[in-house]
Amino acid sequence: MSDLKALYETDYSTWAKRHMELLRDQRFAELDIDHLLEELSDMSKSERRELASRLLILIAHLLKWEYQYPLLSERWREFDGRSWRVTIVEQRKQLAVLLRQSPGLRSKLSETITAAYPDAVDLASKETQLPPETFPEHCAYTSELLLDDDFFPAAPGTAFKETAPKD
């Protein structure tokens, strides 16, 4: 086993720094290619998992906003959906940061939205106690709408784009 392979197992930070030096010096023959490829793959998987997780939460909260907010605000005048709005704003900000730091993820947005949507419906259904059939079969929110700071869906049957109440 090479020194670098052993170092990977015992001191990851030093292993990573050593690889930066080797790459900077273009000493490619000395690289621990197997572990380097594994780490690059894991980084990509981690970013895709974060993208999916943030989209799941964002979509679930937009569904709650669209399908439950009107019901609750009719029953309780003081209900203004503030906590949902805070979550929507936070997820959008975190998505913007993630996409700025990893612009290659933009090409994965549509497929990740499609993949996250059934779980977002399940989450929204469990949190609202509305039946899953309440929500559309396919996500009606495009990536542009999901990332649009001013988009908060209206209740079904009304104008689709409106701005949220400001605090």
Residues 131-140 have pLDDT tens digits of 999 999 999 9
% pLDDT > 90, the chain: 56
Residue 77 domain-assigned (yes or no): yes
Tell me, yes or no, whether 137 lies in a domain.
Answer: yes
Beta bridge partners, 153, equal 161
Is residue 12 situated within a structural domain?
no
**Number of domains, the chain:** 1
Out of 3-7, 21-25, 49-53, 146-150, least confident range: 3-7
Q: What is the pLDDT of residue 166?
A: 46
The most confident of the ranges 29-38, 102-111, 158-167 is 102-111
The CB density around residue 116, as the number of other CB atoms within 10 Å, is 22
- Is residue 50 in a domain? yes
In a domain, 91, yes or no: yes
Q: Give the model's pLDDT for residue 121.
A: 98
Torsion of CA 35, 41, 47, 52, to 10 degrees: -140
Q: Give residue 163's pLDDT.
A: 42
Written as six digits, the tokens of 72 are 């609750």
Mean pLDDT for the chain overall: 85
Host domain of residue 54: 46-162
Which of 7-11, 69-73, 127-131, 142-146 is predicted most confidently? 142-146
Residues 146 and 59: beta-carbon distance below 8 Å: yes
On whether residue 31 sits in a domain, the answer given is no
- In this prediction, residue 90 carries a pLDDT of 97
> Residue 167 has what pLDDT?
45
pLDDT at 85 over 90: no
| Any domain includes 68 | yes
Q: For residue 165, what pLDDT is reported?
A: 46
User: Mean per-residue pLDDT for 120-146?
Assistant: 95
**Arithmetic mean of pLDDT, 105-127:** 96
Q: What type of residue is 141?
A: Y
Question: Is 128 inside any structural domain?
Answer: yes
Burial of 62 (0-12, 13-18, 19+ CB in 10 A): buried
